Structure 1
């Protein structure tokens, strides 16, 4: 993709606006907290302290909007405390340019590395650096700076208290995640009626798994219906696939296929009803036709063999989902543990330390953002425009570890800032609003920013720019700075951010082969563990080692898909894996995983007769996929010699297992790997 087209596509994504992602009640709560903080501190301490506390409350509310399943009050408190510390340290060194630049470089570098922990931590850390650049200009002494830092922390505390007192959809994020997972299963069941080999995107299940982990405090308060249904949804997916697939299930046409379609449709309706109940915290209202279809007594007469077993298992699992979705109580011992913030500190430091390698995109981002912030601050200070922190503030706020987000946000931020600064500065210079009117306008702008924070980045940035202008106007800072000067400094920050990626990039495109190799390795281990359980039955579909391998395949698949999405708009050559080849390879890998999932759906229970031949197939699968992954990384087309020899020997009757599903599955697995090789050859 050319640079011009890449810029066009990324700019379009930064300007997109989706109404369904607006959350007016949450935005109003954040604005209310800001208004309380600003009003109280204005009356008690004056405009300067009010501005500091306002930044603390503003940043704390931003933190609660991030995609995180931790308690929102905890995020607000952590954000306010970290910003207070950043501001105080910044003021201590602010009078000495060299010391402040060293602190800015250290703080920015750590904020860049914080993306290794996750986007929530990365965004909060980046925002702390950006706001610190403004707040360090407000105090006049060390004691005053300490007071300002304390008031910033108080701003975070007020937002945390409001979240507790005025909850908006308590457990709403967790409910939505679990409901989305069940709704995805329902949609999958309906698609299988018409396409027996339809693909399934595991992202909703992975998201629900992340949402299911809770802290000890959350575990004592979590509604019971949010526990258990996710695990059942995980077990339903392979059963649905095995029931629909004609290779191992009912024939493609005839009475059995008609019965399978009826069962799949009923399963979709039941799962939809459970998703609705969980999303809204209501009792499950099952559609009578779906219940009747699942309870029809002639299933055993119509279906036989593997389809019959799958139908019986599906009915039992759906019954468990319905029972789980009903509102009930739960003990803390039943919950998946999520570490507290204090226990997360060594984990976060370990992840950041692991990124200190030359090929890490997170390390490259940390180096880029550090260089841009320090150079932007120096340039902004040297230029005769006044208040040069606008340049590094713009850079830090838009820069992300990948090209697409950085360029999209740079274009959107400049456009939004241009509008916001122009309107706000024009109002200040024309109307000369007093302290309280400026504070009111700042709160209104904050509400607009919160409202459009999840979508319409350019619109939200217009409100952010206006918020800063009005807040500084409340203090009397920056009144002499014109629209032109602020826009020029913002443009400078955006240009530095965009240029840094061109000079020191971390392209995703060259890493796609490595991500595909990781997915192949994970898929091979999953398939090998599933097949090995036919040789030594040990626990059926709920076997822990199979479950662990399945989660690894999903993680690798999501990493691949995210990598492809980031690489799509990069202005670089594909270097051995074109967009067409990537799409074909993804289809082949999905087919491989689907076949392994079909085999998992019919794993023998503990104590069932073993199938000794399965051990040889499991070992062949593991070796073949590991060698194939090595060939992928070396830019070669992988071969599957050992696995092919095993399957061909079975076809000749040499050591073939007396198990139709296992023999057929081996053939399908080899066909999927051959499709992968063909995609790479093209």
Structure 2
């Protein structure tokens, strides 16, 4: 039931287009109506919930293959519906099943944040199971329908992908064909003139849409072709024999520009030629050839996901291995899984054995509030609870005017899910409010919504929030692990700030002053969290104290470098060589390190960063003679690299190995 964590982490939540959302919700309502009239209101509630969850996954911007991710999500929601319907007659067994499922849902954060979110959403379907028995045919039909609604979401997006995705795909096709022609020309004649500036139009295709609608997964879309073009120019300036490498690159770029069924096989075959040809290049062009091959591999990942990934059995073994590594007491993922299992089990037990009105909200609130990151649980708990309360109040007020049930409730739930998509860019509080209203009406599909029960819902939410915080206080994260997580978050935000300043040197940013101020605010908040964790941790090991001292020194150096770079930003854009811009982009990508993940400490790939710093210095001569700001940029990038290299390493925790 799991896929490789890198595949799940490709999902990045963005705001889909209106047309795509409408089609998704219409598909949900169609299958909900079928479940309501052919099976039961409970089956309709599960079907609607499953469609909303899988629709949210299907609508996200995912490079390569979206179908496996939606299939996994469909299987999980179907399994939740099956377990809930089979065990709901037996209260003690049902509580145990909820505890076990939520433990596994918490452990799935070891595979990535999105795997954890999908499992938690499926747990939400499980905890709202009504205490009513279902016949075996109804159980089977309900399970099949909940899985089918996820497949319908994938089918809808496949049949009619959002317009902006098509525009970006067409732009990338045009860019890849242009690069393929350049590579073939270079293979035929090394004196062929190449102009990397010919791809400047590509950037506008990706950035000429609202910020909240920009696909996170495709941010490399306009940068990567520019970097490939710059590397072709660098290769042309060497004295290496580029005939085979350029010919193989042309074949590969033509293959990824093709959208036929044979594109995947053709690209795989051509990429093997590229690797062999790059390995054969020696002398002054060896480094550029290797960099060129790496960039083509990145292009393959962007186009297909991964060309030669593990099969299903290998992916399952890898996922199981990742989970086993976190079965140690210091792992934040294991502690989150235990907290989630205990809190939801208590919430469901109270709902089953106590005389509470609107009892589902207790366990649902736990699922919405608890996070593996201590900071996200504590600092955002009040905001999430306020959002839930506001959404419940709005939905309850509407129910006083027009008490919905059945398909009326389903339509109302779908409408508020649409509102959640619309307010995604306004933050988690607004989204929490919209989702809470949607859940009120989702529950109303099976049981009529009573507007007068608003106080009971709010009381259950308050109890759920208190239960979530109590379990976090009772079973906190390991102090040293928490300190290292806060240190990683601080280092990441400081580096994000530095990367923003570097990009402002070589690219035009939307409202650069606001972007830099926002990055600085994030770094300031992260430093406060780090200092709080540092003050609460006693470091007994001298190695750990040395690590902390070196970390503080590096952080101060990065802050100083950022201040110097920001004060040297040119008032007007400066013309820089394409090679220099591509080298700075490579450095920024290496500097930002691995994506943040609760299951792993944030790190920077130091060898990759050192190599990227060398590439910047190798091409710096093309700009530093005419730009004082560029000289400052190159010097401060070297200072940041030295500071990060000077951080004293300490052994990784066993769960991070």
> Relative to structure 2, which stretch is displaced further, 328-337 or 127-136?
328-337
Query: Displacement, 1:343?
Result: 4.5
Alignment-derived partner of residue 328 in structure 1: 257
Counterpart for residue 375 of structure 1 = 346
1:676 is matched with which residue: 612, 622, 646? 646
Alignment of 1:485 with 2:456, yes or no, is yes
Instruction: Look up the match of 2:114.
Output: 120
Match of 2:134 among 113, 132, 140: 140
* Contact 1:445–1:463 (CA under 8 A) maintained in structure 2: yes
Maintained 8 Å contact 2:177/2:257: no
CA distance in 2, matches of 1:128, 1:31: 18
Q: 1:396 aligns with which of 367, 374, 399?
A: 367
Per-residue CA deviations over 1:540-582 (Å, capped at 9, x if unaligned) read: xxxxxxxxxxxxxxxxxxxxxx999867536422555378535
**Cα shift at 1:454:** 6.4
* 1:584 matched to 2:556: yes
Query: In 1, Cα distance between the equivalents of 2:400 and 2:354?
Result: 22
* Residue 529 of structure 2 is aligned to residue 569 of structure 1: yes
Output aligned runs, 1:2-81, within 5 Å. 21=15, 23-45=17-39, 47-65=41-59, 68-69=62-63, 71-81=65-75
8 Å CA contact 2:59–2:157 kept in 1: the answer is no
Equivalence for 1:85: 79
Aligned to 1:448: 419
Report deviation, 1:365: 1.2
Contact 1:225–1:325 at 8 Å: present in 2 too? no
The alpha-carbon distance between structure 1 residues 510 and 228, as it changes in their structure 2 partners (threshold 3 A), is farther
Aligned residues: 459
Residue 598 of structure 1 and its aligned partner are, at CA, apart by: 5.0
**Paired residue for 2:97, among 94, 103, 106?**
103
The residue that corresponds to 1:469 in the other structure is 440
Contact 1:403 1:566 in 2 (8 A): no
- Aligned 1:97-496 pairs, distance under 5 A: 97-137=91-131, 140-169=134-163, 269=197, 272-276=200-204, 328-329=257-258, 330-335=263-268, 336-339=307-310, 343-433=314-404, 435-453=406-424, 456-477=427-448, 479=450, 482-496=453-467
Contact 2:45-2:446 within 8 A present in 1 as well: yes
The Cα offsets for residues 148-198 of structure 1, whole Å up to 9 and x where unpaired, read as 22221122122122122221258679969x98xxxxxxxxxxxxxxxxxxx
Give the structure 1 partner of residue 501 of structure 2. none
Deviates more, 1:405-414 or 1:562-571: 562-571
| Structure-2 change in CA distance of 1:580 and 1:109 (3 Å) | same
Counterpart in 2 of 1:511?
484
Is the partner of 2:355 in helix, strand or coil? coil
Please list the CA deviations of residues 204-249 of structure 1 after superposition, one character each: whole Å capped at 9, or x if unmatched.
Answer: xxxxxxxxxxxxxxxxxxx69679989x9xxxxxxxxxxxxxxxxx
Distance in 2 of aligned mates of 1:172 and 1:162: 15
Unpaired runs of 5+ residues, structure 1, are 1-18, 180-222, 233-265, 285-290, 296-307, 520-561, 604-664
1:602 deviation in Å? 9.8
Q: Which residue of 1 aligns with 2:518?
A: none
CA distance in 2, matches of 1:423, 1:27: 22
TM-score normalised to the size of structure 2?
A: 0.58
- Deviation of residue 378 (structure 1)? 2.6
1:591 shift after superposition: 9.8
Q: Is the Cα–Cα contact under 8 Å of residues 229 and 324 in structure 1 kept in the other structure? A: no
Whole-angstrom distance in 2 between the partners of 1:44 and 1:428: 26
Change beyond 3 A, Cα 1:434–1:340: same
Distance 1:495 1:320 in 2: 61
Residues 147 and 343 from structure 1, CA distance in 2 versus in 1: closer, same or farther, beyond 3 angstroms?
A: same
Q: 2:470: which partner in 1?
A: 499
Distance 1:677 1:56 in 2: 47
1:372–1:395 CA contact under 8 A, matched in 2: yes
Question: Using a 3 Å threshold, how does the CA distance of structure 1 residues 74 and 309 change in structure 2: closer, same or farther?
Answer: closer
Alignment gaps of 5+ in structure 2:
1-12, 183-194, 209-217, 223-228, 269-306, 493-521, 538-544, 562-590, 592-603, 619-634, 651-657
Q: Give the drift of 1:383.
A: 4.5
Matches of 1:153 and 1:599, distance apart in 2: 51
Q: Deviations over 1:352-389 (max 9, x none)?
A: 11111122111111112112111222334455322422
Q: In structure 2, the residue corresponding to 1:573 is in which secondary structure?
A: helix
Question: After superposition, what is the alpha-carbon deviation per residue over 1:388-427, rounded to whole angstroms, capped at 9, x for unaligned?
Answer: 2211111113322112332355333312211221121222
Distance 1:57 1:497 in 2: 27
Task: Classify 1:331/1:389 alpha carbon distance in 2 versus 1 (closer, same or farther; 3 Å).
Answer: closer
Shift of 1:30: 2.1
- Any idea what the Cα deviations from partners look like across 1:593-636, whole Å, max 9, x if unmatched? 76544556899xxxxxxxxxxxxxxxxxxxxxxxxxxxxxxxxx
What pairs up with 1:624-639 in 2 under 5 angstroms?
A: none
CA separation in 2, counterparts of 1:670 and 1:444? 49
Task: Tell me the TM-score normalized by structure 1.
Answer: 0.56
Contact 1:435 1:475 (C-alpha < 8 Å) held by counterparts = yes
Q: What is the rounded CA distance, in whole Å, between the counterparts of 1:161 and 1:131 in structure 2?
A: 23
Q: Is the 8 A contact 1:442 1:466 kept in 2?
A: yes
* 8 Å contact from structure 1 (residues 277, 325) kept in 2: no
How many Å separate the matches in 1 of 2:95 and 2:416? 31
**Contact conserved, 2:557 with 2:640, CA < 8 A, in 1?**
no
Q: Helix, strand or coil: the match of 2:257?
A: coil
